[in-house]
Amino acid sequence: MITNSALSRRKFKVANVYYDKDADLKYLQNKTVAIIGYGNQGRSQALNLRDSGVKVIVGNVENDTWKRAKADDFEVYTIAEAAKKADIMFILIPDEIMPQVFEAEILPNLEKNNLINFASGYNVHYDFINLPSDMDVTLIAPRMIGKGVRDRFVEGTGFPSLIAVHQDASGQAKQLLLALAKGIGTTKVGAFESSFEEETVVDLFGEQVMGGFKMFNIRASFELLVEAGYNPEAILLEFYLSGEGVESQKAAMEMGLWGQLKLHSTTSQYGHQTRGAKAASEESKKALKEILDDIESGRFAREWKTDQMTGYPVFKSIWKKNLQHSFIKAETELFEKMGRKKHEQ
Ligand code: NDP
């Protein structure tokens, strides 16, 4: 149980939340924003900012993505040229290649008081990127996939983000950050003030626990039931392939986690709360703490960096091993039996 004193011992202060009324687009007048990378986040954020009246250019490698940005009517340049032309840069390329691209193409083209904005705190928090001290450095980390960033802007509903100022060289970093947050549409529902450290730790922990732990828990439960003689089809339908879980997740967004439980049968409510609690044993809390320690100490980030620098041996072997598991075969067979296409990435 978390006590009130644990809540008041928080490492990070209670978040200020900023809305449209707190931000002013006038700070972006006469500024050129370069969107570096026109992928998931890049395209959506570029379109949103332009629709908000901001001057936006795109920096990308010259290929099909470049053509897509051109077709969307943007001025497109190499990353180095875009960095030279811009006052503000959104670095929206994959985190693992960001340090090299930043060092080679962006850093030599920066000018005093430029603003560098990230969508993830990762490289800055772990010092994988060297930032000159005479720059503004900010964070707008949407809690939303790129497609949602655009769709919700167009619908006028917005999406939440964590925002932070890491360096304020110009003395205007906060106003600029809020204006940019408004421009991409996040202050419509709330931009939550955070830090590069908090965003990084919570994001990694969320991916590894809410995502990773859950996946392996599903697979271990599948193994257990198959060994006990139950049919893979019945198990996979119950666990996630029917889509019931998605509906519960949507209901949790509307009603809260415990609120959505009332939509389940009373037997389910009883089982959730008596048996589900066993999953939060001291043993599993110990495993969660180990995961958090790896993130906070930088062990996870260093391990992942080493793998990248040596040709991804661990990354490749875990993918290979996991795709060979009998679980994948059972899953594919069930898709076929239901006449559904299993989309491959
Ligand atoms: P993407 O994988 O979609 O980025 C693709 C872009 O990066 C493309 O323009 C691609 O160019 C370019 N790129 C890839 N490799 C290189 C390279 N070697 N040199 C130069 N450019 C390259 O990234 P995301 O949008 O997913 O992520 C961007 C940032 O946003 C990251 O910091 C991420 O953590 C953060 N973020 C992402 C979220 C998401 O939902 N995806 C959510 C919140 C934050 P090309 O196509 O021409 O190869």
51-60 pLDDT, tens per residue? 999 999 999 9
pLDDT at 316: 97
The residue contributing the CA closest to ligand 1 atom 1 is: 39
Q: Exposed, middle or buried: residue 82 (CB in 10 Å: 0-12, 13-18, 19+)?
A: buried
What pLDDT band is residue 96 in, cutting at 50, 70 and 90? very high
Mean pLDDT, range 228-253, rounded to an integer:
92
Q: Residue 44 and residue 129: Cα distance in Å, rounded?
A: 25
What pLDDT band is residue 282 in, cutting at 50, 70 and 90? confident
What pLDDT band is residue 8 in, cutting at 50, 70 and 90? low
Single-letter amino acid code for the residue at 135: M
Atom from ligand 1 closest to the CA of residue 63? 47
pLDDT at 32: 98
The residue contributing the CA closest to ligand 1 atom 37 is: 41
The residue contributing the CA closest to ligand 1 atom 42 is: 145
Q: Residue 159 and residue 150: Cα distance in Å, rounded?
A: 10
Which three-class secondary structure state does DSSP give residue 130?
coil
Contact 232 CB / ligand 1 (< 6 Å): no
Contact 80 CB / ligand 1 (< 6 Å): no
Maximum Cα–Cα distance across the chain = 68
Q: Residue 264 and residue 270: Cα distance in Å, rounded?
A: 10
Single-letter amino acid code for the residue at 7: L
Atom from ligand 1 closest to the CA of residue 92? 28
Task: Using CA atoms of 7, 13, 14, 18 in order, give the dihedral in degrees to the nearest 10.
Answer: -170
Q: Confirm if 207 and 292 have CB atoms less than 8 A apart.
A: no
Given the DSSP bridges, would you call strands 191-193 and 161-167 parallel, antiparallel or unpaired? parallel
- Of 36, 92, 98, 123, which is best to mutate to test ligand 1, by the most ligand atoms within 8 angstroms of its C-beta? 92
Least confident of 279-288, 301-310, 329-338: 279-288
Query: Residue 82: is its pLDDT beyond 80?
Result: yes
Mean pLDDT, range 171-199, rounded to an integer:
97
Average pLDDT over the chain, rounded to whole? 93
Q: Residue 163 and residue 16: Cα distance in Å, rounded?
A: 10
Q: What is the pLDDT of residues 174-183, one digit of tens each?
A: 999 999 999 9
pLDDT at 31: 97
- Of 36, 38, 44, 61, which is best to mutate to test ligand 1, by the most ligand atoms within 8 angstroms of its C-beta? 61
Query: Residue 18: is its pLDDT beyond 90?
Result: yes
Q: Residue 117 and residue 92: Cα distance in Å, rounded?
A: 9
What pLDDT band is residue 6 in, cutting at 50, 70 and 90? low
Which of 215, 234, 209 is CA-nearest to residue 325? 215
Atom from ligand 1 closest to the CA of residue 149? 40
Distance 283 CA to ligand 1 centre (A): 37
Mean pLDDT, range 306-332, rounded to an integer:
95
Which of 243, 261, 241 is CA-nearest to residue 251? 261
Residue 91, strand partner residues: 36, 118
Mean pLDDT, range 251-262, rounded to an integer:
90
pLDDT at 283: 86
Contact 203 CB / ligand 1 (< 6 Å): no
- Of 36, 41, 159, 196, which is best to mutate to test ligand 1, by the most ligand atoms within 8 angstroms of its C-beta? 41
Mean pLDDT, range 74-87, rounded to an integer:
98
Distance 122 CA to ligand 1 centre (A): 14
pLDDT at 155: 96
Q: Residue 54 and residue 46: Cα distance in Å, rounded?
A: 9
pLDDT at 3: 65
Mean pLDDT, range 162-168, rounded to an integer:
97
Q: Residue 337 and residue 39: Cα distance in Å, rounded?
A: 35
The residue contributing the CA closest to ligand 1 atom 46 is: 65
Which three-class secondary structure state does DSSP give residue 264?
coil
Mean pLDDT, range 69-96, rounded to an integer:
98
Q: Which residue has the higher pLDDT, 8 or 174?
A: 174
Write out the two tokens for 120.
């993830």
Distance 112 CA to ligand 1 centre (A): 26
Mean pLDDT, range 124-133, rounded to an integer:
95
> Taking the mean position of all CA atoms in its chain, how far away is CA 299?
20
Atom from ligand 1 closest to the CA of residue 66? 47
The residue contributing the CA closest to ligand 1 atom 22 is: 93
